[in-house]
Amino acid sequence: MYLIVGLGNPEPEYSYTRHNMGFDTINKLAKKYEIDLSRNKFNGIYGSGIIEKQKVILLKPQTFMNLSGQSVKAFIDFYKIPMENVMVIYDDMDVEVGDIKIRKKGGPGTHNGAKSIVHELVSEDFPRIRVGIGKPVDEYDAIDYVIGKIEEEIYKKLEEGIQKAALGIIEYLKNGIDTAMNKFN
Protein backbone atom coordinates (compact mmCIF):
# COMPACT_ATOMS: atom_id res chain seq x y z
CA MET A 1 0.00 0.00 0.00
CA TYR A 2 1.11 3.55 -0.79
CA LEU A 3 0.25 6.81 0.94
CA ILE A 4 0.21 9.76 -1.46
CA VAL A 5 0.02 13.03 0.49
CA GLY A 6 -0.71 16.42 -0.99
CA LEU A 7 0.01 19.42 1.21
CA GLY A 8 -2.16 22.49 1.33
CA ASN A 9 -4.34 24.59 3.60
CA PRO A 10 -7.90 23.40 4.17
CA GLU A 11 -9.83 26.65 4.37
CA PRO A 12 -11.70 27.74 1.21
CA GLU A 13 -9.83 31.06 1.07
CA TYR A 14 -6.60 29.13 0.41
CA SER A 15 -7.89 27.26 -2.61
CA TYR A 16 -6.53 28.56 -5.88
CA THR A 17 -3.24 29.62 -4.25
CA ARG A 18 0.36 28.57 -4.85
CA HIS A 19 0.51 26.87 -1.44
CA ASN A 20 -2.11 24.28 -2.46
CA MET A 21 -0.19 22.56 -5.27
CA GLY A 22 -0.19 19.33 -3.24
CA PHE A 23 -3.97 19.40 -2.74
CA ASP A 24 -4.47 20.21 -6.43
CA THR A 25 -2.32 17.24 -7.48
CA ILE A 26 -4.29 14.90 -5.20
CA ASN A 27 -7.55 16.25 -6.67
CA LYS A 28 -6.27 15.60 -10.20
CA LEU A 29 -5.32 12.00 -9.36
CA ALA A 30 -8.61 11.39 -7.54
CA LYS A 31 -10.58 12.59 -10.54
CA LYS A 32 -8.54 10.59 -13.07
CA TYR A 33 -8.75 7.34 -11.08
CA GLU A 34 -12.26 7.94 -9.67
CA ILE A 35 -11.12 7.90 -6.05
CA ASP A 36 -13.70 9.47 -3.72
CA LEU A 37 -12.02 11.93 -1.34
CA SER A 38 -14.83 12.19 1.19
CA ARG A 39 -13.61 10.17 4.15
CA ASN A 40 -12.24 11.80 7.31
CA LYS A 41 -9.70 10.29 9.69
CA PHE A 42 -6.68 11.51 11.66
CA ASN A 43 -7.27 15.16 10.70
CA GLY A 44 -7.23 14.37 7.01
CA ILE A 45 -9.59 14.03 4.07
CA TYR A 46 -8.74 10.89 2.15
CA GLY A 47 -9.86 8.21 -0.23
CA SER A 48 -8.46 4.86 -1.26
CA GLY A 49 -8.31 3.12 -4.59
CA ILE A 50 -6.06 1.61 -7.22
CA ILE A 51 -3.55 3.51 -9.37
CA GLU A 52 -1.39 1.51 -11.78
CA LYS A 53 -2.29 -1.76 -10.01
CA GLN A 54 -1.15 -0.37 -6.65
CA LYS A 55 -3.44 0.15 -3.67
CA VAL A 56 -3.17 3.79 -2.62
CA ILE A 57 -4.51 6.20 -0.07
CA LEU A 58 -4.74 9.79 -1.31
CA LEU A 59 -4.52 12.16 1.66
CA LYS A 60 -5.05 15.89 2.14
CA PRO A 61 -4.15 16.78 5.76
CA GLN A 62 -6.61 19.27 7.25
CA THR A 63 -4.34 20.55 10.04
CA PHE A 64 -2.99 23.61 8.24
CA MET A 65 0.40 23.41 6.63
CA ASN A 66 2.71 23.66 9.63
CA LEU A 67 1.04 20.70 11.40
CA SER A 68 0.68 18.39 8.37
CA GLY A 69 3.03 15.83 9.86
CA GLN A 70 0.54 14.92 12.59
CA SER A 71 -1.98 13.60 10.07
CA VAL A 72 0.69 11.91 7.92
CA LYS A 73 2.23 10.10 10.90
CA ALA A 74 -1.15 8.86 12.11
CA PHE A 75 -1.91 7.34 8.67
CA ILE A 76 1.55 5.75 8.43
CA ASP A 77 1.25 4.24 11.90
CA PHE A 78 -2.33 3.02 11.50
CA TYR A 79 -1.85 1.44 8.06
CA LYS A 80 1.78 0.36 8.75
CA ILE A 81 3.03 1.96 5.54
CA PRO A 82 6.79 1.76 4.94
CA MET A 83 8.53 5.12 4.46
CA GLU A 84 9.55 4.34 0.87
CA ASN A 85 5.82 4.01 0.06
CA VAL A 86 4.97 7.52 1.31
CA MET A 87 5.05 10.22 -1.38
CA VAL A 88 4.58 13.84 -0.31
CA ILE A 89 3.71 16.58 -2.81
CA TYR A 90 4.17 20.26 -2.00
CA ASP A 91 4.90 23.67 -3.54
CA ASP A 92 8.46 24.96 -3.80
CA MET A 93 9.68 28.49 -4.56
CA ASP A 94 13.12 27.18 -5.59
CA VAL A 95 11.62 25.25 -8.53
CA GLU A 96 10.53 27.14 -11.65
CA VAL A 97 6.80 27.48 -12.38
CA GLY A 98 5.60 24.50 -14.38
CA ASP A 99 8.53 22.27 -13.33
CA ILE A 100 8.79 19.57 -10.67
CA LYS A 101 11.62 17.92 -8.75
CA ILE A 102 11.32 14.36 -7.49
CA ARG A 103 13.60 13.15 -4.70
CA LYS A 104 13.95 9.89 -2.79
CA LYS A 105 14.69 11.70 0.45
CA GLY A 106 16.19 14.89 1.76
CA GLY A 107 15.71 17.89 3.99
CA PRO A 108 12.53 19.94 4.10
CA GLY A 109 14.13 23.20 2.99
CA THR A 110 12.04 26.19 4.02
CA HIS A 111 8.64 24.50 3.54
CA ASN A 112 6.74 24.38 6.84
CA GLY A 113 4.60 21.40 5.82
CA ALA A 114 7.66 19.35 4.90
CA LYS A 115 9.35 20.46 8.14
CA SER A 116 6.34 19.21 10.10
CA ILE A 117 6.45 15.82 8.38
CA VAL A 118 10.21 15.45 8.96
CA HIS A 119 9.68 16.43 12.61
CA GLU A 120 6.80 13.97 13.20
CA LEU A 121 8.43 11.06 11.35
CA VAL A 122 11.87 11.84 12.81
CA SER A 123 13.18 11.10 9.32
CA GLU A 124 13.91 12.68 5.95
CA ASP A 125 13.77 9.28 4.22
CA PHE A 126 10.53 9.56 2.26
CA PRO A 127 9.99 10.38 -1.43
CA ARG A 128 8.65 13.79 -2.39
CA ILE A 129 7.63 15.83 -5.38
CA ARG A 130 8.24 19.56 -5.21
CA VAL A 131 5.95 21.48 -7.56
CA GLY A 132 7.49 24.71 -8.80
CA ILE A 133 5.82 28.00 -7.97
CA GLY A 134 8.81 30.24 -8.67
CA LYS A 135 10.11 33.07 -6.53
CA PRO A 136 8.15 36.21 -5.68
CA VAL A 137 9.11 39.46 -7.31
CA ASP A 138 10.27 42.22 -4.97
CA GLU A 139 6.86 43.67 -4.16
CA TYR A 140 5.67 40.42 -2.59
CA ASP A 141 6.74 38.91 0.65
CA ALA A 142 6.95 35.11 0.69
CA ILE A 143 3.77 34.58 2.73
CA ASP A 144 1.60 36.78 0.50
CA TYR A 145 3.14 35.10 -2.53
CA VAL A 146 2.28 31.55 -1.50
CA ILE A 147 -1.16 32.10 0.05
CA GLY A 148 -2.39 35.06 -1.99
CA LYS A 149 -5.04 34.56 -4.67
CA ILE A 150 -3.70 34.24 -8.20
CA GLU A 151 -5.03 35.13 -11.60
CA GLU A 152 -6.36 32.41 -13.87
CA GLU A 153 -3.57 32.98 -16.39
CA ILE A 154 -0.90 32.36 -13.74
CA TYR A 155 -2.78 29.33 -12.42
CA LYS A 156 -2.80 27.79 -15.90
CA LYS A 157 1.00 27.88 -15.88
CA LEU A 158 1.05 26.34 -12.38
CA GLU A 159 -1.26 23.59 -13.66
CA GLU A 160 1.60 22.38 -15.87
CA GLY A 161 3.49 21.49 -12.69
CA ILE A 162 0.40 19.88 -11.16
CA GLN A 163 0.00 17.73 -14.28
CA LYS A 164 3.70 16.75 -14.21
CA ALA A 165 3.42 15.90 -10.50
CA ALA A 166 0.43 13.63 -11.18
CA LEU A 167 2.35 11.92 -13.99
CA GLY A 168 5.38 11.62 -11.70
CA ILE A 169 3.27 9.81 -9.11
CA ILE A 170 1.90 7.45 -11.75
CA GLU A 171 5.46 6.70 -12.91
CA TYR A 172 6.59 6.17 -9.31
CA LEU A 173 3.78 3.68 -8.69
CA LYS A 174 4.38 1.91 -11.99
CA ASN A 175 8.18 1.76 -12.20
CA GLY A 176 9.65 3.05 -8.93
CA ILE A 177 11.22 6.24 -7.65
CA ASP A 178 14.46 6.00 -9.65
CA THR A 179 12.62 5.77 -12.97
CA ALA A 180 10.32 8.65 -11.96
CA MET A 181 13.34 10.79 -11.04
CA ASN A 182 15.12 9.99 -14.31
CA LYS A 183 12.04 10.78 -16.35
CA PHE A 184 10.96 14.03 -14.67
CA ASN A 185 14.03 15.70 -13.14
Residues acting as catalytic residues: 19
Number of H-type helices and E-type strands within the chain: 6, 7
Q: How many CB atoms within 10 Å of residue 53?
A: 7
Cα 70 to Cα 15, 67, 142, 143: the distances in Å are 21, 6, 24, 22
Q: How many CB atoms within 10 Å of residue 105?
A: 14
- What does the CA dihedral 105, 21, 113, 142 come to, rounded to 10 degrees? 110
The strand ranges marked E within the chain are 2-6, 39-41, 44-51, 54-61, 86-92, 100-103, 128-132
DSSP 97-148: TT-EEEESS---TT-HHHHHHHHHHT---S-EEEEE--PPPTTS-HHHHHHS
Spatial separation of the C-alpha atoms in residues 175 and 40, rounded to whole Å: 30
